[in-house]
Amino acid sequence: MEKEYLEIATLAAKKAGQFLLKNLGQVNTIEYKGITNLVSDMDKEAEEIIVSILLENYPQHQILAEERPNQGPASEFKWIIDPLDGTTNYVHGYPCFAVSIALAIREEIMVGVVYDPLLDEVFSSQKGGGAFLNQKPIKVSETRRLISSLVATGFSYDIITQDDNSLIYFNHMVKHAQGIRRNGSAALELCYVAAGRLDGFWEHKLSPWDMAAGSLMVTEAGGRVTTFTGNLFSIYGDEILTTNGNIHEEMIQIFRQNQPV
């Protein structure tokens, strides 16, 4: 049955992604959820495409999507959707964005799909079934030292108004890694860890739809997912650290040494 869920999620992600690609550079309206937190008409239309496909096939399932609250009947099946991960990139025409869809069954992520329409790359995973890129198996890198690693991060939308340790972590991590990237799409960066393109990724103050599909991708590709200090990860928590496993403890030590007093 999970194979069917994966197929439907892939269909929905690709239809939404192709819509976004077709309309790139044609954003008509932009709203602000915060000083730098944008939502466009394209976010909303892509979400409608996804939700309509999911509810057509599974009308009794619950929906948790970025641009709408929990909706639908109480159900052990919950679709977690980010119709446009990388809205700021998209609005500016910066070529890095994706569609992310996950299915949780009794609050455990069982299916994940992330689609990059620009590269026509479909990352997919099922719990216990591995991770794939365009139907070919992927796995995390074998890099063993942080100083030899390419890692990525992001900064929360409220960094302008709220004090947190994001910049402190960045300042320390940049001195210990080979390089750091900040691409503006957490879903894709998680998939890049799964595919071995990145060796690690961390970010603070993400939402469930940012992490749900990508976190499953990493674990199914043989990687590790925790909080910054190595505790149990939850998509409803406020931080994520993912790596190939080999550099995980090195990164945790940097976070522990720089925790707020």
Q: What is the model's pTM?
A: 0.92
Longest dimension (CA), the chain: 50
Q: Is the pLDDT of residue 163 over 70?
A: no
**Locate tokens 């929990």: which residue?**
70
**Strand 68-71 to 98-105 pairing:** unpaired
Least confident of 6-20, 31-45, 85-99, 132-146: 31-45
The amino acid that residue 106 corresponds to is R
Closest by CA to 244, choosing from 148, 140, 147, is 140
pLDDT at position 156:
75
pLDDT at position 250:
97
Q: Is the pLDDT of residue 36 over 90?
A: no
> Which phi and psi angles does 228 have, rounded to 5°?
-60, -30
User: For 84, what's the count of Cα atoms within 13 Å in the CB-facing half-sphere?
Assistant: 28
User: At 226, which helix (H) or strand (E)?
Assistant: strand 224-226
Q: What structural domains and CATH numbers belong to the chain?
A: 2-137 (3.30.540.10), 146-257 (3.40.190.80)
Average pLDDT, the chain: 90
Determine the Cα–Cα distance for residues 47 and 246; give it in Å rounded to an integer.
37
Least confident of 5-19, 40-54, 110-124, 225-239: 40-54
State pLDDT tens for residues 216-232: 999 999 999 999 999 99
Give bridge partners of residue 125 from the DSSP assignment.
Answer: 112, 131
pLDDT at position 223:
98
pLDDT band at 34 (very low <50, low <70, confident <90, very high): very low
